[in-house]
Structure 1
Amino acid sequence: MKFRYLVAFVSLFHAFSSWASDSFIVKDIRVEGIQRTEAGTVFSYLPVKVGDTLDEEKATEAIKALYATGFFKDVKLKSENGVLIVEVDERPAIAQISINGAKEFEKDKLLEGLKQAGISESRIFSRSLLDRAEQELKRQYISRGKYAVKITTTTTPLERNRVAINFDINEGRTARIKKVSFVGNEKFKDSELRGILVLRKPDLLSWFTKNDQYSKQKLSADLETLRSYYLDRGYLEFNIESTQVSITPDLRDIYITINITEGAQYTVSDIKVAGEPLLPEEEIRKLILLKSGQVFARQKLTESVKLITDRLGDDGYAFANVNAAPELDHENRQAAFTFFIDPGRRVYIRRINITGNDRTRDEVIRREFRQMEGAWHSTKNINISKQRVDRLFFFNSVNVETPAVPNKTDQVDVNVKVEERPTGSIMFGAGYSDRQGIILNGSISQNNIFGTGNFFSLDVNTGAINKTYAASFTNPYFTVNGVSLGFDVYKRDLDTRPLSRVGTFKTETVGAGVRLGIPIAENDIVSLGLAAENTVLGVFADSPQRNKDFVTEFGKSTNNFPLTLSWARDRRDSAIWTTSGTTHRLFGEVSVPGGDLDYYKISYHQKWFYPITDNLTLMLNGEFGYGDGYTGRSLPFFKNFFAGGNNSVRGYDLNSLGPRDDRNLSLGGSKRIVGNIEVLFPVPFMKDDRSLRLSAFLDGGTVFARNIDFNLMRYSAGIALTWVSPMGPLKVSIAEPLNDQPVDRLQAFQFMFGQQF
């Protein structure tokens, strides 16, 4: 730095020495030595004009101004018969930049980084900027563990005062973490503490995770993880004394040593509440997760403070302050905590402001809000409102802020900023199922017609077994209370002939229906539907006798008026990447008198998700279905339940389980039981891709014609992959049947692609 100032001083001295004239009036100004720079550019920076008196002070100012542009490495001022002569020596321009030997980074990214450092083609060349850019390149490589990197920079002069810059990079070998050691730990083994850290020595996945490469940011995060680990286990006096990071002379191996003091383990002796709780102390204590006699856990303390703060926020105290002050008894190794509560002033909502909704009407967003204008601030209602707007799937992002109203101490606004996403789609696709062959599908849908929130769709799905042609319209707010109204028109064809183990028949159903959805709670909805449909039956020479008898009794064409009633509850944290929550669905269907059929069906479906760890999720699934006829009639055979395949018991052929005829063809049944135990986890090499998920499963289930006999249940175990691909969902499974019988048709590998599942 001192050398740079010395160079500048010498340059200025040299410039002054070249102008030794006395003060004079500038009659004209002439610029000499410029090659690329326009004379007008020099004049614009020069603080001297024709007619000015040039003295020593103005000359100094002029030289400094021209140097400050960075365009010139030398500036001289001369006078000749009242003419001011400005002699400049331009800095060279960068004509080209080349990078050799770069493998760790893409060259385009390196060039972009150089540009941000001031080095790019057509810019003025500066040695100081070049040195800084070289250091920045080294820093980037060191961040990737390339401590042995060597960067050789050469500049080659070119014609017209230009230079070419070449970066020759020898990346060297990446330094790896050889060992992470702990000093001072007695309660936990080194291996246990290493297991909670991100940084670790190389393993089978290190090439993907890069966790064997040292990073200061990762080490800081690991130290905080280590601190939390001890504090969550009662070690209130835990302290990280120091950390040492060393590298071997060959710059290949890194050793990390963490010096800690564990201290004693503390238990909670007493919990007190002080300040202005406003709520009954009994209610406050229920929100405190720390209990007397338990080992202290910082996580429980933090969560308790949050629960109390949120509870006060529900009553309008948006700026409540809750602090837990500890009192340590070092001799008995106990800690008492006093929760000091300062609720502050009660806050009201002045206005809800919505921005970013260029297409969607304000009312579509406002009707999802449970926080009202003019009401008390409620943290719970604001969070629920945000979730409901997010679940519309009309927006890529929903951000909610509650800034204070200027000059008001008891009012806040709710600012909702949304980023709209396309809600209409035209899709054409193809898929393949191992049983249905090639499947063509297409749909035209708009989830937010004209910004009203209404839904409309046209769907076409073809397959050797199932064909569907349907049109649907839904108004989710037919009433202001959120009652939805929908209409459906459909044609559904079913042909079981490609299913070699299922009794053959064919149905062609044409129908139309109307449905209502009635919300009865925040996450619960009751749906009621009525449809009219005509079904044309087809039987074949190899069809089961039961199917032929049905056609003889009712004819090939039957009219039906199914009335459906369902209840659904969805409390999952995510519809695609679920880690916690439950879903329930109770569905009933009954044929209304006046048609040709008399039957009813009831089914119940529940899923339960529980996070085992950050990456493992346990899923329990249970399904039960029951159907029968009334007025002395039986359940129509084409309304039977089936089991087997990707959606029930994997490892067994599609719809192949349950009762069979004398030719061993599956007939389906009036009762169905299916259960699944599944452990879900991300793909090891693609943990951040939320469209891919692996699972290990245990399936069980079947269908029954008469009495339920659990000895007839079939079981299987295996692994599965689910991928929400751009072309449609893909589900692949490999299963091993556990108690198959000689009559069962097995299928270890099963997949579905291009269909919903």
Structure 2
Amino acid sequence: MRLSNFLSRFHPVALALALGCAAPQVAQAVTPFQIADIRIEGLARTDAGSVFSALPFRTGDNYTDEKAVVALRALFASGHFKDVRIDVEGPVVVVVVQERPIIAHVDFVGAKEFDRDTLIRSLKDVGVADGMPFDRAQADRAEQEIKRQYLTRSLYGAEVVTTITPIEKNQVNVSFSVTEGGVARIRDIHITGNQAFSEVELIDQLDLTPGGLMTWYTKSDRYSQTKLNADRETLRSFYLNRGYLEFDIASSQVAISPDKQDIGITINVKEGQHYTVTGVKLTGDYLGQDEAFGALVSIRPGQAYRLDDVAATIRAFNERFGLFGYAFARIEALPQVDRKTGQVVMTLHADPGRRAYVRRIQISGNTRTRDEVIRREVRQFESAWYDGRRIRLSRDRIDRLGYFSQVDVEQQEVPGSPDEVDLTFTVKEKPNGSMMIGATYSTADHLGFNASVRQDNIFGSGNYFGIDFNTTTATRMLNFSSVDPYFTEDGVSRSFDMYYRTNKPINSQGEQYKLVTIGGSVRFGVPVTELDKVFLGGGLERTDILASSALPEYYFRYRADYGTSSVTVPLTLGWQRDGRDNAMAPNSGTYQRVNLELGAFGDARYFRSNAQIQQFWPFTKTVTLGVNAEMGYGVGLMNRPYPVFKNFYAGGLGTVRSFDQNSLGPVDVTGAYIGGSRRLNLNSELYVPFPGVGHDRSLRIFGYADAGNVWNETENLQLSSLRASVGVGLSWMSPVGPLKFSYGKPVRYFPQDKIQNFQFQMGTAF
């Protein structure tokens, strides 16, 4: 008897539903029998094993209509088949399938807002990608997904049309034709229900803004639900940090114009009552250290309730518990409010839970950087007590590598082991290669350039390789350098440098002479603490004093006494501590370094030192002050003068802006700027948001004040001879690095000084 003879007129899907709903009637149509064989027909690409695995019966089993229903459902659910039926030929069960076509290629026409890879990734999640089975329902879901992507960019009028083109071997090409339409922009934002604060003040807290002068850059006038949700939380935090403990957002409405080009947003708030904190209580188990935990409380009685203070206190408590291995401590903040008086007493209840071990540490998200490069920065050990301080330090060290745009650490309880925890450090890779370009311009003098190509994480090894090039009227420089940060397992670094430098001091008479230095060095960095590193190194270099015409007297006398060429063996000792939050564009933290250089062997005998400190203070979320101070000192040894080719220079980028590069300090009788053996350099910059960009920190304006000079061995360091300048500038975090434009004027200068008002640079903080 054949089941198909009885129900062959039914569509397979209808058949499955019919069998599922009326199994008793079908059971009478086919008498159960023992299966002698199972045959699969219609397969071209799908593995027969996947079909057999979906069948609820095997050879030798009894066949029933109920099992046929289960088999049909399982085969359709696999998504591989367009049609399925089951025939019975005597004791043989024949499964006849018709495979779905395979997607050969997915293409997009008219999609300009997104690159193809972004759309391909989004469609893969809904089952549409090269090599996957095709289904019309999946194509419909793909259309909706593409429209959803466009909604995130405020393109509400986007239309998508799908074209399916069958090709040979049961394959199809899928093409999505996109008509993007115009961008829907926010026309206005209104906040209702507010009494304590003006609507203007509240709207100023939001990242979403109506169209304005700079919204073409910030794109803050493009609506998205995600941004609106974030702004709702921003409003909530604003009120909760100003005493409004019961603040709530009643609703928010978004209205879009019929042409889908303009959007209006209305947010309805309920401010509630203002509360003042009158007391803080600690309850629960604080490991017998109630006094130590009490010192961590940021909530201050007598002040308005602040959510940030509550959150900071809970965070500090959790970190304190983490020091003792309590990974899952629970801190509850329980406000006891008195609405009649507008007062609140905060109760902080602590439950430390069990002390935990770290069972396993996992690394995730590193598609390029090797695991070992990340793991060697981790200070928490597996099978050791959970230590919150070491975990935070590990996260910070990984972040300071500079290889990742985001570093997160998550902890998971181990099922069945309440005293164990697994840690996962998740990183997000970012491009580690960089190209930095700088230029200076003077209408009276010259155009100078400097550039560098660097790879901070070459081949994912954590090693650095760089090429630096600099050319101005005064200098030429080519430098090759490489750094292995873990030359030893203990974290001792090793760096090599090879360089070629020419220095042509500025001369008002235009004489042709220069200093040419060729050399190389090796340096080792020894970590002393988690933030401090000591450097030791040595090198070999040769300096030639060359001239094709008259030579400045200062250089002439040195060459006459010690020859045209000087071979030097410099030994170096240094120390560095970097506590900045970002090396390229710092917002907070301190950077300090000291470098000592001793020429104890060779033709030149000298001592040279250089010290620098930078400090950054964030005054507000968008206003930052940075201060830089640098001092250099050199002296000749063994009755020899300080070598002229080791002089410090000042003026221009990196020292005192508004003055020509390397033009400050002693001047030879021939008019040459020869630098000096002592230097003092002071800089300050105040960053404020660019008008119209809101909270965007990638585009800012700044004001600066610089001061400095250089002196030779026979001069005293005199503040009265300092040069100074002030100016304004624009800082832009461009795709290729931090870029600065500055224009300034000297406020303290002398007649012989060479002025340079406009400058720009890329890739440095000062």
TM-score scaled by length of structure 1: 0.75
Q: Deviations over 1:39-78 (max 9, x none)?
A: x99x999999999999998999999899989977999999
The code of the aligned residue for 2:594 comes to L
CA distance in 2, matches of 1:557, 1:187: 77
Given candidates 712, 720, 743, the residue that maps to 1:710 is 720
Asked if 1:215 is matched to 2:229, the reply is: no
* 1:570 aligned partner: 578
* 1:699 aligned partner: 706
Given candidates 556, 561, 565, the residue that maps to 1:553 is 561
Alignment check: 8 A CA contact 1:491 1:508 kept: no
Against the structure 1 CA distance between its residues 514 and 276, is the aligned structure 2 distance closer, same or farther, given a 3 Å change threshold?
same
Give SS of 1:738's match: strand
Alignment check: 8 A CA contact 2:703 2:726 kept: no
Residue 229 of structure 1, CA deviation: 0.6
Quick check: 666-675 or 111-120, which moved more?
111-120
Alignment check: 8 A CA contact 1:624 1:671 kept: yes
Against the structure 1 CA distance between its residues 12 and 573, is the aligned structure 2 distance closer, same or farther, given a 3 Å change threshold?
same
* 1:585 aligned partner: 593
Against the structure 1 CA distance between its residues 687 and 519, is the aligned structure 2 distance closer, same or farther, given a 3 Å change threshold?
farther
* 2:201 aligned partner: 192
Residue 343 of structure 1, CA deviation: 2.0
Against the structure 1 CA distance between its residues 222 and 444, is the aligned structure 2 distance closer, same or farther, given a 3 Å change threshold?
closer
The code of the aligned residue for 1:714 comes to A
Q: How does 1:279-298 map to 2 (within 5 A)?
A: 280-298=289-307
Alignment check: 8 A CA contact 1:247 1:254 kept: yes
Asked if 1:323 is matched to 2:332, the reply is: yes
Q: How does 1:654-693 map to 2 (within 5 A)?
A: 654-679=661-686
Asked if 1:621 is matched to 2:621, the reply is: no
Alignment check: 8 A CA contact 2:493 2:526 kept: no
CA distance in 2, matches of 1:217, 1:547: 66
What is the CA RMSD across the aligned residues, in angstroms? Answer: 6.1
* 2:552 aligned partner: 544
Residue 197 of structure 1, CA deviation: 1.6
Given candidates 592, 606, 610, the residue that maps to 2:613 is 606
Asked if 1:231 is matched to 2:240, the reply is: yes
CA distance in 1, matches of 2:173, 2:361: 58
The code of the aligned residue for 1:719 comes to G
CA distance in 2, matches of 1:236, 1:490: 63
Given candidates 461, 470, 476, the residue that maps to 1:466 is 476
Against the structure 1 CA distance between its residues 321 and 199, is the aligned structure 2 distance closer, same or farther, given a 3 Å change threshold?
same
In the alignment, structure 1 segments of 5+ residues that lack a partner are 26-33
**Aligned residues between the structures:** 742
* 1:648 aligned partner: 655
Residue 613 of structure 1, CA deviation: 4.5
The code of the aligned residue for 2:515 comes to T
Against the structure 1 CA distance between its residues 446 and 665, is the aligned structure 2 distance closer, same or farther, given a 3 Å change threshold?
same
The code of the aligned residue for 1:620 comes to V
Alignment check: 8 A CA contact 1:145 1:176 kept: yes
CA distance in 2, matches of 1:418, 1:755: 25
Q: Kindly name which structure, 1 or 2, has the bigger radius of gyration based on alpha carbons.
A: 1
The code of the aligned residue for 1:674 comes to N
Q: Deviations over 1:460-503 (max 9, x none)?
A: 868573345667776856695x5x47586756443316776898
CA distance in 1, matches of 2:499, 2:72: 86
Alignment check: 8 A CA contact 1:394 1:448 kept: no
Against the structure 1 CA distance between its residues 678 and 298, is the aligned structure 2 distance closer, same or farther, given a 3 Å change threshold?
same
* 1:299 aligned partner: 308
Against the structure 1 CA distance between its residues 88 and 674, is the aligned structure 2 distance closer, same or farther, given a 3 Å change threshold?
closer
Alignment check: 8 A CA contact 1:155 1:165 kept: yes
CA distance in 2, matches of 1:456, 1:87: 61
Asked if 1:277 is matched to 2:286, the reply is: yes
TM-score scaled by length of structure 2: 0.74
Q: Deviations over 1:69-93 (max 9, x none)?
A: 99779999999x9999999999999
CA distance in 2, matches of 1:278, 1:82: 75
* 2:6 aligned partner: none
Give SS of 1:287's match: coil
The code of the aligned residue for 2:684 comes to I
CA distance in 1, matches of 2:598, 2:289: 51
CA distance in 1, matches of 2:61, 2:385: 70
Quick check: 390-399 or 681-690, which moved more?
681-690
Alignment check: 8 A CA contact 2:212 2:692 kept: no
Alignment check: 8 A CA contact 1:243 1:257 kept: yes
The code of the aligned residue for 2:680 comes to I
Quick check: 675-684 or 334-343, which moved more?
675-684
Alignment check: 8 A CA contact 2:508 2:670 kept: no
* 2:744 aligned partner: 736
Given candidates 190, 202, 225, the residue that maps to 1:181 is 190
CA distance in 2, matches of 1:422, 1:173: 32
Against the structure 1 CA distance between its residues 336 and 679, is the aligned structure 2 distance closer, same or farther, given a 3 Å change threshold?
same
